[in-house]
Amino acid sequence: MAHSATYRSLLLLCIVGSLICASSAQTCRSQNFANKNFQTCVDLPVLNAFLHWTYFPSNGTVDIAYRATPSVAGGWVAWAINPTGTRMLGSQAIVGYLVSGTVNVITTSVNSYTPSMQNGSLSFTVSNLAGESSGNDIILFATLSLPSNSSTLNQVWQSGPMSGTTHSPHSTTGANVQSMRTLDLLSGQSTSTGGGDSKTRRKNVHGILNAVSWGILMPTGVIIARYMRVFKSADPAWFYLHVTCQFSAYVVGVAGWGTGMKLGSESPGIQQTFHRNIGITLFCLGTLQVFALFLRPQKDHKYRIYWNVYHHSVGYAAIILSIINVFKGFDILKPEKKWKHAYIGILIALGAIVVVLETFTWIVVLRRRSRSSEKSHHGANGTNGYGATPSV
């Protein structure tokens, strides 16, 4: 009974603790501002940001309060309206950052992917600019005269570091490329832009295709070729399995490579140079391997040894580069940690299989050498290697 009472007490404490943690989670409805009240608010989905507003349909103006935590201590935050599109280019931004403990607020028009963040006028009227800090958060206040008196607007928000008094570029991966929403000021609905969702899906497809092809199928094909060929009974089955696995990896990899090139062409201001260059290199190496299959000499051909050196060198180089690029892709996409952990688990499993098969293969090879040596020894002492005495 005592144990039961203790268990119930601990369970009650856990429930109360979870409720306290849940209630302490920051939402826009839990936020208040001195001498300022707003009719509606929304929790923006990324970058720990919140938007509060009061809309005045009669004159097409809106009072806003944008609250966000900088991505790094001492960084800048920004909220913008894009009158002409759904992305950063063309957006009209309000930027806030700390200067000697005081929030400095500027407005800037974003006309390039490397904006200067200099104070300037916007394409619509902005008044009542102000800023304040609360804990680690920066809060921006403004009154906007909405373009074309529209109650629906394309909003973009960002966060980045400061370098002294200069605004450094924000990250071009993860949440920083997902911070776009269409906002209906009347209904309070904040929805994803169709292009953003579509692009995110293509990024995920690109990542999956390349992880499966270059990161899993290709190493598996190499394992098949290296260890099945030791067994004479597996010849030529191992060769066809190897070719099927590698060709499948190439086809799927080309699809992933093409998706990546398409994503790159749609993101002129976002350069993933290292990841892209490795991807192009892998495509070239994979293509060379496919063509090399048609130039494969016979086993007894004098050039076969050179072909083997080339084929093995290119194959192992492709595997090393592919694994590096998969992890680089994880750093760019920043998916849930379980996906990266799953891929690491697959690599560990493949590594364990290689260790076991390598050990077993060497045992088989050494036994064959030992038997061959014994037969040669017997042959040298008056037998022909099969136990028979040669004729005189």
What is the model's pLDDT at position 172?
75
User: Given this structure, which CATH class describes domain 197-375?
Assistant: mainly alpha
Q: What is the pLDDT of residue 63?
A: 92
Residue 332: name the closest of 260, 268, 283 by CA.
Answer: 260
Where is pLDDT greater, at 242 or 230? 242
Question: CA angle, 273 as apex, 246 and 314 as ends, to 5°?
Answer: 30
Token pair for 141 = 């206040």
Vertex 334: Cα angle to 77 and 321 (nearest 5): 130
Tell me the pLDDT tens digit for each residue of 53-79. 999 988 888 999 999 998 888 889 999
Give which of 147, 150, 154 is closest to 123, Cα–Cα.
147
pLDDT band at 375 (very low <50, low <70, confident <90, very high): low
Buried residues in 288-313 as b, exposed as e (16+ CB within 10 A)? ebeeeeeeeeeeeeeeeeeeeeebee
pLDDT for position 192: 62
Encode pLDDT of 297-307 as tens digits: 888 888 888 88
67/77 Cα distance (integer angstroms): 9
- Find out whether 294 and 311 touch, Cβ atoms under 8 Å: no
State the pLDDT confidence band at 207, using cuts at 50, 70 and 90.
Answer: confident
Q: How far apart are CA 159 and CA 77, in angstroms?
A: 4
Q: Which two tokens stand for residue 357?
A: 């098969």
Q: pLDDT of 235-252, one tens digit each?
A: 888 888 988 998 898 899
pLDDT of residue 6: 45
Contacts (Cβ under 8 Å, ≥6 apart) of 330: 207, 339, 340, 343
Amino acid at 164: G
Query: At residue 122, does pLDDT exceed 60?
Result: yes
- In this prediction, residue 352 carries a pLDDT of 92
Task: Enter the tokens of residue 190.
Answer: 């904040």
Please give the model's pTM, rounded to 2 decimal places.
Answer: 0.50
The pLDDT value given to residue 195: 47
Q: In what order do the strands lie in the sheet with 137-145?
A: 40-43, 49-56, 61-68, 137-145, 126-134
Return the bridge partners of 109, or none: 92
Percent of the chain having pLDDT more than 90?
A: 10
Confidence of residue 377 (pLDDT cuts 50, 70, 90): low
Shortest CA distance to 143 belongs to which of 153, 123, 129? Answer: 129
Q: Which pLDDT band holds residue 16 (cuts at 50, 70, 90)?
A: very low
* CATH architecture of the region 28-192: Sandwich (2.60)
| Nearby residues of 138 by Cβ (< 8 Å), 6 or more positions away | 67, 68, 69, 70, 76, 77, 96, 97, 98, 103, 131, 132
**Cα 352 from Cα 348, distance rounded (Å):** 6
Domain boundaries of the chain, sorted by first residue: 28-192, 197-375
Quote the tokens at residue 35.
């001498």
- Cβ burial 6-45 (10 Å sphere, 16+ → b, else e): eeeeeeeeeeeeeeeeeeeeeebeebeeeeeebebbbebe
Phi-psi region of 28 (alpha: psi -120 to 50; beta: other; left: phi over 0): alpha
Q: What is the 3-state secondary structure (H, E, C) of 194-213?
A: HHHHHHHHHHHHHHHHHHHH
CA distance 328 to 349: 21
